């Protein structure tokens, strides 16, 4: 089911629409460094692991740039499509890790590599796994949002426990995945200058 969702172009259009809303909210707040007006600056991204033929419009990390001379700082609004600097879509990373964590489902790294058809090497997938097991639970990213979900989202099962939580909350795998990505986006990109 999750693999079908991340192969569906419509899913990425939904995420892009959310990214546009999040970027617009950030733009309206103005520059967090000087209060100046923010302008759009779009950054093309690779977006690996999704369906073929996604329009270039979706392969953009929406960014903002302060227009005030002397500041001109770059501000990155939250994004559901892209997490951090990874080349793969955030949804692809999330689904790959969730499937690998569901031990009863029979997924393993080799089978997933074949199915996803992504250029992610075994090393990359193992690195993602290690990151979610060892670093993510104690990261500032997770700590910023951790309190907004209940204790049933166990640190040990991240990110699969988070995806399962939102699937239960929304009653639908695709909507749960969107909610998970939006939730992660809000923790992943705190407004600069306002957080430690
Ligand atoms: Zn500024």
The alpha carbon of 29 and the centre of ligand 1 are apart by a number of angstroms equal to 11
* Count of structural domains, the chain: 1
pLDDT confidence tier of residue 119, bands split at 50, 70 and 90: low
Asked whether residue 55 is assigned to any structural domain, the reply reads yes
Asked whether residue 194 is assigned to any structural domain, the reply reads no
pTM of the full structure: 0.88
The alpha carbon of 33 and the centre of ligand 1 are apart by a number of angstroms equal to 5
The alpha carbon of 70 and the centre of ligand 1 are apart by a number of angstroms equal to 8
Asked whether residue 196 is assigned to any structural domain, the reply reads no
Residue 194 has pLDDT above 70, yes or no: no
The pair of three-digit structure tokens given for residue 126, joined into one six-digit string: 């193992």
Distance CA 81, CA 132 (A): 18
Mean pLDDT of 59-87: 91
Residue 39 has pLDDT above 90, yes or no: yes
Q: Which is more confident, 104 or 57?
A: 57
Half-sphere exposure at residue 152, Cβ-oriented, CA atoms within 13 angstroms: 6
Residue 63 has pLDDT above 90, yes or no: yes
Residue 45 has pLDDT above 50, yes or no: yes
The alpha carbon of 194 and the centre of ligand 1 are apart by a number of angstroms equal to 13
Distance CA 96, CA 98 (A): 6
Residue 193 has pLDDT above 50, yes or no: no
Q: Which is more confident, 117 or 192?
A: 117
Contact assessment for residue 85 and residue 188, using Cβ atoms and an 8 Å cutoff: no
Asked whether residue 67 is assigned to any structural domain, the reply reads yes
Q: What is the pLDDT of residue 104?
A: 66
Distance CA 94, CA 148 (A): 19
> To which residue do tokens 């733009």 refer?
27
The alpha carbon of 76 and the centre of ligand 1 are apart by a number of angstroms equal to 13
Question: 27 Cβ partners below 8 Å, 6+ apart?
Answer: 38, 39, 40, 64, 77
Q: What is the pLDDT of residue 79?
A: 93
Asked whether residue 195 is assigned to any structural domain, the reply reads no
The alpha carbon of 67 and the centre of ligand 1 are apart by a number of angstroms equal to 7
The region of weakest confidence among 30-39, 105-114, 126-135, 142-151 is 105-114
**Listed residues: CB within 5 A of ion ligand 1:** 31, 33-34, 36, 66, 68, 71
> To which residue do tokens 């040990």 refer?
156
Asked whether residue 47 is assigned to any structural domain, the reply reads yes
Mean pLDDT of 13-30: 96
Asked whether residue 94 is assigned to any structural domain, the reply reads yes
> What average pLDDT is seen over the chain?
87
Listed residue (153, 106, 111, 104) closest to 132, CA to CA: 153
Asked whether residue 193 is assigned to any structural domain, the reply reads no
Contact assessment for residue 187 and residue 137, using Cβ atoms and an 8 Å cutoff: no
Identify the domain containing residue 147 by its residue range.
2-188
């Amino acid at each position: 089911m999750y693999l079908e969702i991340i192969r569906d172009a419509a899913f990425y259009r939904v995420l892009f629409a959310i990214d546009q809303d999040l970027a617009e909210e950030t733009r309206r707040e103005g520059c967090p460094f000087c209060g100046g007006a923010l302008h759009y600056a779009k950054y093309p991204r690779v977006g690996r692991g999704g369906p073929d033929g996604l329009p270039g419009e979706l392969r953009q990390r929406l960014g903002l740039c302060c227009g005030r001379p002397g500041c001109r700082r770059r501000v990155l609004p939250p994004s559901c499509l892209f997490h951090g600097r990874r080349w793969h879509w955030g949804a692809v990373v999330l689904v790959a890790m969730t499937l690998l964590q569901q031990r009863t489902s029979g997924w393993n790294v080799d089978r997933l590599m074949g199915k996803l058809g992504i250029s992610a090497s075994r090393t990359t997938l193992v690195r993602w796994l290690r990151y979610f097991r060892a670093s993510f639970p104690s990261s500032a990213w997770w700590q910023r949002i951790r309190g907004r979900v209940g204790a049933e989202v166990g640190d040990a099962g991240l990110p699969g426990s988070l995806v399962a939580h939102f699937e239960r909350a929304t009653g639908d795998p695709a909507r749960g995945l969107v909610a998970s990505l939006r939730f992660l986006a809000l923790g992943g990109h705190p407004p600069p200058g306002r957080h430690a």
